[in-house]
Amino acid sequence: MKDSKKRKKKNPTPKAKRLHVYYQRTGFYMFIWESLKKAFWPIAGVVIGLILFNKYVYNINDGLQAMTETFSRVGVLTTFFVSETLLGLIPPEIFIAWSKKTADPILNLSLLATLSYSGGIISYFIGRAALKINAVKQYLEVKMAKHLKNTSKWGGFLILVGALLPLPFSISCMTAGMIKYPFKGVVVFGLFRFLRFAIYAWAIFSMVS
């Protein structure tokens, strides 16, 4: 019995290795790779489109300056919060660029990141509440079955992907709520949303004068 225990201690399977084998077997890595490939061209298209728009149509800096002078900070932040709570319909990059043109860019950027994170948390509870609607539940079981199954298998990693990549964070959180993913996991993995805002701000602030 003692020898058996010693062998177990000497040759434990590292947790990281077990996770790697599990994600490899379930197709998680392929799912992430396919998602990244699908996201690359739309992102590249948006970047190129913005560059061309800024060069030949309208100066984006002028537009951001007009936005700063026309709308109050409360109005912009409220609009952003609603967007980040309801499916992330407006790209956060627009608001990050806006924060650069304000008198307190770091403060406003911090507020944006906090509101985005909070919007994701609220989206989680919206997802939980949506399950009580029969029409929504039936739609999910038919149209979103595969996505929900993947989210159930890979859990927090999909929340992390939604937090870091240019994908609607609120949709990831809402989906997590629909599959009843542990709230603690959403809170922890969702913190990477702050890292995303820091990285994007570093890139966008260097482009916006």
- Domain chopping of the chain, boundaries: 51-207
Query: Which tokens sit at 18?
Result: 């077990």
| Interval 1-26 mean pLDDT | 59
Mean pLDDT over each residue of the chain, to the nearest integer: 76
32-36, 82-86, 111-115, 181-185: which has the minimum mean pLDDT? 32-36
- pLDDT score of 39: 58
pLDDT at 113: 95
CB 124 within 8 A of CB 176: yes
- Surface-to-core class of residue 181, CB atoms within 10 Å of its CB (0-12 exposed, 13-18 middle, 19+ buried): buried
Q: Rounded to whole angstroms, how far apart are CA atoms 59 and 66?
A: 11
Confidence of residue 50 (pLDDT cuts 50, 70, 90): low
pLDDT tens profile 91-130? 888 898 899 888 899 999 999 999 999 999 999 999 888 8
Contact 197, 116 (CB under 8 A): yes
